[in-house]
Amino acid sequence: MGAKTDNTADKKRIEELRRLLAYHSRLYYEKDEPEISDYEYDMMFKELKELESAHPELDSGESPTHRVGGRADERFGKVRHPVKMGSLTDVFSFDELRTFVDKTRQQLLSMGETEVFFSVEPKIDGLSVGLTYEKGKFVLGATRGDGVEGEDVTANLSQIKAIPHTLTEPLSLTVRGEVYMPRAAFARLNAQKEEAGEKLWANPRNAAAGSLRRLDPAETGERGLDIFVFNFQSGELYSDGSVPETHSGTVERMRELGFTVIDMLAVTDDTDRIIDEIRALGERRDRLANDIDGVVIKINSLRQRELLGENTSTPKWAVAYKFPPEEKRTKLLDIALQVGRTGAVTPNAVLEPIRLAGTSVSRATLHNIDIIRSRDIRIGDTVIVRKAGDIIPEIVASVPECRTGSEVPFRFPEACPSCGERLVYDSGEDGDDETGEGTVRCINAACPAQLERRLIHFASKGAMSIDGMGPAVVKLLKDAGLVSSPADIYKLKADDIEKLPRMGTLSAQNLISSVEKSKGAGASRLLFALGVRHIGEAASEEICRRFGGIYPLFEASVEDICAVDDVGDIMARSLTDFFALPETRELVDDLRDSGVVCDYTGTASGSALEGLTFVLTGTLPTLKRNEAAELLKAQGAKVAGSVSAKTSYVVAGEAAGSKLDRANQLGIPVIDESKLLEMLGEKR
């Protein structure tokens, strides 16, 4: 009877772990917005594997333990990998590592092998990609995806300077590498986002993944991404099609061909030496220019790897030793509140400075009120802070045994620290208990802290794209009383602007010109600029395409909006709630009366180009690529970042690169600017 009860409890825990892992995997791989640390995810994954091993009758082919990574993003073309891009089995202790090394060595010795060597190298914390070359030319780049099928991000990868467009020899091959964001580039990116009042990236890995998936490849190029190539997948490494006999030899050969490879690679047959190398890398990790989250240990002989083979989703000849998260104690001095663009009031811990993971830490995120309550965190507490591979530190727990009695429980104020209006408790994202999070929110649309961040977002690139209206200028205009809503931007006068500090006549005139130009941005960019919760740039485009503009949204129901592709119930309710507000109607009317286009201008009904997909490459004689893209979208065409079988035409200019090669391989029609203008009905 007791055994049956245990089995029932284990079955329930297995189902819970599968649900949690699927949820957090989706956030990590597909949205690049993790809510938990890598370590917490790894521990849940390990627990699930152990439970499934103890109860094979409860195992399932649909379990996260049998899958790799995430699904391919539908926004990009899909690529089937020539060789499966698998993941590695993780180990978390030297005892587990010794077991792997001893077991693997014994297996090979029993097969008649006389010596067994292992390679030891850092595990770069980034995004795995495959790079394909034909006759020495870079023709295709893809994310790992689910290991079998990934996303075609060729155009974006072409923007990374460390990826050679041409190899030193005309060979055809596919290699695997890890795209990452150096710490310096990450710090710059988050500083820009903080200045703009935007949500910060949690860590360089997620910033790298998000940057690589930008719809505009030029934006990827601005993010400072880098790559290490670490594995030969298929093809020829020599002109006769042969490959080196060892992994270390392969890495050296890839270096000769022009790839950036990892220098910190050791080869040894001694288990103690492997552990010494891991300890040495652990001591150096804080001084590296990039994040590493562990060390990869592999059989060095490629022939011996073939002998060992693979499990369902991982090779038998390699493991990844994962570094434990670094944790330190310090004093929580205070809890400061920050009001975001959507009114979310975020608590941040003010700490006695400590040195953690190579940097000085004096602030840490507390996420929300539920975290403070569940971890019983009090002002004055000794707290445990960690960076489990993340740049943004967090408080793991308080240390009650260190309390003196002077600690003060934290309570959210009833009034907003910015505007003084009433705060409300929002239990999770619109009642979605899956996240287990609750947010305290200011619902006053006129809140000064929200206003400044909303104005910054309204003017930002991708929204109304008002050049010259960055965070500093928005603050100047707001503090001077010139703007108190987005509609006020279109009532600005050059005479008023030039009187502000650091502006002047020319700056004022340029800003007014940019404001005037933004009036024609169109409905989809206006909707995105309005900053409706849960409604991003892509969703704004699809919604406005379906409804034809902003004003039909005042009458649209939740069911109407849910009929739009990729728009769910939460997004639809957020949109209908926003357009039910009287102040929304007043704002949109004010914008329209100022000349802001509220109709969807992305599709010219009946255009011969409607529904066709174009890819732009190279430098065009008279058009900038973004101008060409806008002209095409105005005719109902789609503009993609990479060439696939679905591409209708490739528009090639001077110095066209891999996209042109790819188009020729697939037989996609290639046209020049003059033909494009002819198709558009434009005269130049």
Q: How far apart are CA 521 and CA 526, in angstroms?
A: 7
Question: Tokens for 612?
Answer: 């066709």
Annotation marks residue 46 as catalytic:
no
- Both tokens assigned to 103: 């077991």
Helix (H) or strand (E) holding 349: strand 344-356
Q: Can you read off the two tokens belonging to residue 115?
A: 């010596």
**Rounded-to-integer distance, Cα 673 and Cα 679, Å:** 10
Instruction: Return the SS3 of 128.
Output: strand
Q: Are 567 and 542 in contact (CB under 8 A)?
A: yes
Tokens 């552990």 locate to: 275
571-596 exposure pattern, b = at least 16 Cβ within 10 A, e = fewer? bbbbbbebbeeeebeebbebbbeeeb
Q: Which among 31, 123, 316, 633 is annotated as catalytic?
A: 123
| SS (HEC) of 226-293 | EEEEEEEEEECCCCCCCCCCEHHHHHHHHHHCCCCCCCCCEEECCHHHHHHHHHHHHHHHHHCCCCEE
Instruction: Please choose, from the candidates 593, 586, 600, 518, the residue with its C-alpha nearest in 3D space to the C-alpha of residue 552.
Output: 600
Helix (H, G, I), strand (E, B) or coil at 521: coil
Tracing tokens 């990452």 back to the chain, one arrives at: 180
Q: How far apart are CA 330 and CA 393, in angstroms?
A: 12
Half-sphere exposure of 266 (CA within 13 A, CB side): 17
DSSP 19-45: HHHHHHHIIIIISS--SS-HHHHHHHH
Please answer whether residues 578 and 454 qualify as being in contact, where contact means their C-beta atoms are separated by less than 8 angstroms: no
CA–CA separation, 321 vs 293, rounded Å?
Answer: 9
- What radius of gyration do the chain's Cα atoms show? 28
> What does the angle CA 653 – CA 657 – CA 663 come to, to the nearest 5 degrees?
85
In the sheet that 89-91 helps form, which strands lie side by side, from edge to edge? 89-91, 318-322, 292-299, 118-124, 266-268
DSSP state of 622: S
Residue 452 to residues 418, 423, 477, 521, 661: CA-CA distances in angstroms? 11, 19, 10, 21, 47
For residues 47 and 53, give the distance between their C-alpha atoms in angstroms, rounded to a whole number.
10
Alpha-carbon distance of 414 to 601, in angstroms, equals 44
Catalogue the active-site residues.
Answer: 123
